Structure 1
Amino acid sequence: MEDILNDFYDSPVPASRLKRWLASFIDYLFCFLLTGIIQYFLDGRPIHGEIGMFDLEGLVRIGMLLIPWLLLLPGIETINDGKTFGKAFFKIKAIKSDGSKIDFGRSIVRHLLDCIDFLPLAGILGLALTTNNKKAQRLGDRVAQTMVIDASK
C-alpha cells in the first residue's frame, strides 16, 4: 500500500526463519501423526488387487502419505487466512507477493515444493534460500509468488 502523505510503501514484514521452521515442524508432525492414525486403521485389513503393473496396496499406502500432506495443509492454509496449525501458533501467515490472500492453487504449489525446501537435510536448502532474498522466500514461495509474513504486526 502506498501512503500518499509520506510517499512510502508499507510492505509486510517477512516472518523470522526460526518461526517458519518451527511452524513447518509442527505442521509436518501433525501430518505424520494423521498418516500414522490412517495407517493404523488400514493395517490388518486386506487390500488386494493390481492396477496395471502397480499393486493396489502400494498405491493406497502412497495415497495415505500424500493426501494429508498435499490436501490438508493447503486446505487449512486457504480456509484459515494463510495459516496452518503451526503458522497460527507462531502468528505468521502466507500471502501472495502482492499482499492479497493466498488461494488454494498457490498453496498447493508452495507445498509441492516442500519436499525440496524442507525435507532434505531438515530444511537447510529452504533456510539458505530465505536468507538470500529480501522477501525471505523459499523455492516454493518463489514459484507460487507468495511470501510468509509476521501476522502479529
Structure 2
Amino acid sequence: MSDEVQLCTFLLAGHLFGVDVNHVHEVLLHQPMAPVPLAHPVVRGLINLRGKVVTALDLRRRLELPERPAGLPPMNVVVGTADGPVSLLVDEIGDILTAPAGAFERPPGTLGGPAGELVHGVYKLDGRLLLVLDTTRAVTLPTHGPNEEPH
C-alpha cells in the first residue's frame, strides 16, 4: 500500500477539488455537447469521445454552486464508472498533486448540502483546502430536485 495519493485537481467556482487519478480516464478542453431533452438538470449534454457517447454532468449544478459565467466554456474531467465513462464539467483543470496519505482528513461537519455528501475528505494546502470528490457519488444523480424533499 502506497503512502502517497495522486489527485487530478480542478477549479470549480473558485474552490479547489481533486479526484483520485486512478478514476480519471482523461482531461479535455471544451467539447461540443448535444442537449438531452427531459434529462436531469445536472446532465448538460452528450459529448462524442472518439466515437463513444459520453454523458456530461455539470458539477456546478451537482454541487448547487452558482451557474458558470457566460463566456467561460467548461472543461472535461472524464472519469470511469461502473456504467462507463462520464465527463465532469469543471471550470479549469489543475495539476496532478501528490499528497501524503496521512495528510488526508475527514471533511468538516459544517460542510453541508450536496458538498457534504460528495466530498469525502480534504487536504490542507498552503492557504487553502483541497476538497476530494467521491466520483461514484458525484455521478449518481439525486432522484429529487434541489428544492424538493427526497421520496
Question: Which TM bucket (shorter chain)?
Answer: under 0.3
Q: Normalising by the residue count of structure 1, what TM-score does the alignment of the two structures yield?
A: 0.22
TM-score (norm 2): 0.22
More helix per residue: 1
From the two aligned structures, give the one with the greater strand fraction.
Answer: 2
Larger radius of gyration: 1
